[in-house]
Structure 1
Amino acid sequence: MNLTAILRPVCSAFLLAATLLAAPHAAQAATLPTPSAADNPASHPNFTVRVVGKGQPMLLIPGLTCPGAVWDETVAHYQKQYQCHIISLAGFGGTPAPASTNQLLRNVRDQLLAYIKTQKLQKPTIIGHSLGGFLALWLSSTQPEAAGPLVIVDSLPFLAAVQNPTLTAEAAKPMAEGIRQQMSSGKMTVAAARQMSATMMTDTARISQATRWSVASDPATVAQAYYDLMTTDLRPEVARIQQPVLVLGAWAAYKQYGSTKESTKAIFDQQYAKLPQHQVVMSEAGRHFLMWDDTQWFFSQTDAFLKQNPVARK
């Protein structure tokens, strides 16, 4: 099975190549999120935060090239029950690029943990899509006491090992470096970006929006984020996560490559084998953007999980 065909639906990384367009200045930039009044953006230069709603805290972390607006429907669904902290990573979807991409995802992880602490968020529920799901796993395994229940939307602890479970982070570096260079080559076109988007969602308007976000993203930032994602193995680290985790997976997008629901779920089960409290549930028809593609199923699964795993107030 072709590696690109496997990786493409699991993570929106290949959509990122669309940031390398020949005419990036024509891209439509996304509206920048407004930090909350109590927030100090200088303390977390790698992301901005928009706060909506009241109640228990909830962090929503988007995937590669997507700003926090990817969670608009999710925020509308939860804002009466939760205080939603909507993250937009610097350099994605038209937001200004970070000053440095050195150790990019590690810095995002640390800044998210600092944000939780400084904002005094008591075990926030965290919902993360793709790269956002990876970051949710990473920050939770780094400081298990900091986070509440996790909802991981079509993401894995080690994306590079999808095809070869024995692969190590060190062994993945040459492949990841090659893809990082390819993403910086400027050969991708708008048409190709749209084609990639179409593999990860079904709605035409959504495809157009995702493509706009992709072409508005900063190439250096997304290339480094992808490299970090492909060379960081969290499979042993998730054993430290103390809170319950719901993993929502997609498989329909790569049915054409011979995958089945069972074979895809087996990949998820293997990667999450060391995670103590978790359940993996596969969407029947949704593609990578499950909150868009299988919305009612996404809400029903997440609602039931959060109801079963409430965070006790102090």
Structure 2
Amino acid sequence: MSDKNYLYGANVHANGIRQHYLRYGGKGQPLVLVPGITSPAITWGFVADRLAETHDVYVLDVRGRGLSETGPDLSYDLDTYADDIRGFIDTLKLEDCVVLGHSMGARIAIRLARKNAAGLARLVLVDPPVSGPGRRAYPANLAWYVNSIQHARRGMSAEDMRHYCPTWTDEQLCLRAEWLHTCDELATRVTFEKFHTEDIHQDLPHLTPPTLLMVATRGGVIQEKDKEEIRQLLPSIQVTHVPDAGHMIPWDNLEDFCDQTKEFLMQKT
């Protein structure tokens, strides 16, 4: 992955745990990037490198992933994840901060902004699962995550990973094969379950930062009726669609992902 804007990796003690992050760019408005359920920070490096052209980007290893603290004694619920991000922002004293979350990370961003939006300038919600109590299930298979993590723990090649991610490039497959073993299986299982038991819709009417909802055109995570409901709950939300992209949007269409993100971030409030 390109790393022309990569600065360093570091650890910070925030919300009672060690949180690892990667920093890109170092200039401009801070942007905290919160990845999805089995995406260590390093796998988002190629995205962060592009966003660092205009922003000071911090990519987090969410607890239970990558080099951040993990273990069966930790909690893996939405409120705790949100408190982690708040602790990270406060500990690093980031101000006027953009929070960009993908999938699980977008759900975390929503809960964060509901609980405490202090210092948050904008939210970018990238294809968040809209599952929850009494709602349509998240259209992914837990076994896909668990089997790939278990395979990675034993050791796997990029070619092995191709079975799980057949459309990815060799470089992307190599990186995921190298790092997937750092995603804790318990954290993944609990988070996947809570996609269906924790409700983010209750939070949406309370969001105050300008917010963008970015929707993949393939994969069915967010459907038309979901967008209509979200607009009703948060009429100020902007909705954009990334063509030719499944749920892992930047892996399918990096150019449009970056263009649409930057267009939103450059808007005058």
Aligned twin of 2:124: 151
SS of residue in 1 equivalent to 2:85: helix
Q: Where has structure 1 moved over 3 Å in runs of 4 or more?
A: 93-96, 179-196, 201-205, 207-216
Any conservation in 1 of the 2:148–2:164 contact (CA below 8 Å)?
Answer: no
TM score, norm. by length of structure 2: 0.78
Residue 251 of structure 1 deviates from its aligned partner by 3.0
CA drift of 1:187 comes to 11
Gaps of 5+ in 1: 1-32
Between Structure 1 and Structure 2, whose CA radius of gyration is higher? 1
How many angstroms does 1:99 deviate by?
Answer: 5.6
- Report what 1:167 is aligned to: 135
SS of aligned partner of 1:109:
helix
Distance of aligned partners of 1:100 and 1:197 in 2 relative to their CA distance in 1, 3 Å threshold: farther
Deviation at 1:230, TM superposition (A): 2.4
SS at match of 1:91: coil
Whether the 8 Å CA contact 1:46–1:98 is kept in 2: the answer is no
- Residue 172 of structure 2, aligned match among 206, 218, 221: 206
- 1-side partners of 2:131 and 2:179: how far apart? 22
CA contact (8 A) 2:40 2:182 kept: no
Q: Could you tell me whether the CA contact under 8 Å between 2:22 and 2:42 is conserved in 1?
A: no
TM-score scaled by length of structure 1: 0.68
Q: Hey, what does 1:197 align to over in structure 2?
A: 165
- 1:274 maps to 2:250: no
With over 3 angstroms needed to count, the CA separation of the structure-2 counterparts of 1:46 and 1:136, relative to structure 1, is farther
Separation of aligned partners in 1, 2:108 and 2:180: 19
User: Secondary structure of 1:231's match?
Assistant: coil
User: Counterpart of 2:259?
Assistant: 300
Letter in 2 for 1:48: H
Superposition deviation, residue 289 in structure 1: 1.4
- Pick the aligned partner of 2:64 from 85, 91, 99: 91
- Structure ranking higher in helix proportion: 1
Distance 2:170 2:201 in 1: 35
Task: Tell me, yes or no, if the aligned pair for 2:33 and 2:59 is still in contact at 8 Å.
Answer: yes
Alignment counterpart, residue 214 of structure 2, candidates 234, 242, 248: 248
Structure 2 counterpart of 1:49? 21
Task: Tell me the secondary structure at the aligned position of residue 125 of structure 2.
Answer: strand
Q: Percentage identity across aligned positions?
A: 21
* Structure 1 vs Structure 2 CA RMSD: 3.4
Q: Larger relative CO (CA 8 A, sep 6+): 1 or 2?
A: 1
Give the letter for the 1:304 counterpart: E
The 10-residue stretch of structure 1 (227-236 or 189-198) with the greater mean CA deviation from structure 2? 189-198
Greater percentage in strand? 2
